[in-house]
Structure 1
Amino acid sequence: MENIELLRECSLFKGMKDRQIESALRKLGATEKKYRKNSLLITKGQKEMQLGLMLEGEAVASQDDVWGNKYMVSEVKCGQTFAEPYAAADMPSNIIVQAKGICRVLWLNVSKINFAGNDPVLLLVTSNLLQDMAFKLLNLNQRLTHISKQTTQEKLLSYLSAQSEEAKSLDFVIPFNRQELADYLSVERSAMSAELSKLVEGGKLKTRKNRFTLYP
């Protein structure tokens, strides 16, 4: 079937054979939808949520406050799932998910998992979904560790140190450009750039685009 190679690599279908994936898609009422650049995949307050799986393109999940300020929550890349907690708990969304470019999304009605019983296919999906949500919770906790630091420089050093540990190297590439990194750390881009310059001048790191080398 179309998209089967991508779905094999998706964490939601980890360890499943093609026929099991196809069966899961039928049982979860999978529907595919295409979106234009800047289209909203999910709106704030949206009800009857479904789990989204990005088949093509990228999107940004964000929240806003009563003054209209927008804060990035996470990025959604090809092969990744999103909106899991809202879909699983059948709760209205408090986030906005917006396409960065043309996107194709596979929507899955995971509320049907509640009636899975002993269905072996849906039990596999449930196990994978729980692991995926746990992994994202760990990532969220790590981000909170970074942004809880007092200064912009401390936030930067906390994040870059964690990336270095994950890469098991003092030379590594981060998944963000400068604006995305500023959004992730909840700081002003200009202030962050100034702190990066100070760190470079102080001999603590070297950077080119999204590649960093640390000098402890």
Structure 2
Amino acid sequence: MPPDFATAICGRAQLQLPQFLTANSQNTWQEGPSWPMPGVNAFLVSALLFILNRTSMSVRACGLIIFRKLQELSSASAIEFLLLQTSYGSHHWTPPKGHVDPGEDDLQTALRETKEESGLDASQFTILEGFRKELNYTANGKPKTVVYWLAEMKDSNAEIKLSSEHKAFRWLSLSEACKLAEFLEMQSTLKEAHQFLCSKV
């Protein structure tokens, strides 16, 4: 990184342009002529920052797969999963989740996002030990990681309070949830969660 790079971004003085395209055969930095910051240099800096943002920044999100038991686990339909429908984009269905904020750990993010998106406080459910699922895929051209925990409702009739980010919610059996969850990764995660619960009987 050139010594004047930060200065150039701030709009001060001049930007030292590299000559590595023609003169640098050893991948080392060589300073070029000084050009005024306005005009071409400002465009080059903006373009470089845009490329760095698109190619190097990954996205991390966390959430909870929330379920309730309608009866003792005597059938597959005894377990229902909570899915929320987004009010934007393709209006897809997912469990409550969201991006990690600075200073948060993954579980803190999952709890905060669940509260914001569904109105459910941590006191209203129990997070089950032994289940943690990490999904890795590409979204909007960027690598994305989503981490889910499994949480059981204490009161199966607790009120769901949606935020403006969602327009509907449903409690669904595994088969119904997989039909609404259009992404294969999400379908697979729901099936793993269901299998985990059935193995605990």
Global fold match (TM > 0.5): no
Report which of the two has the higher share of strand.
2
Q: Which structure's CA Rg is the greater one?
A: 2
TM normalised by structure 2 equals 0.24
TM normalised by structure 1 equals 0.23
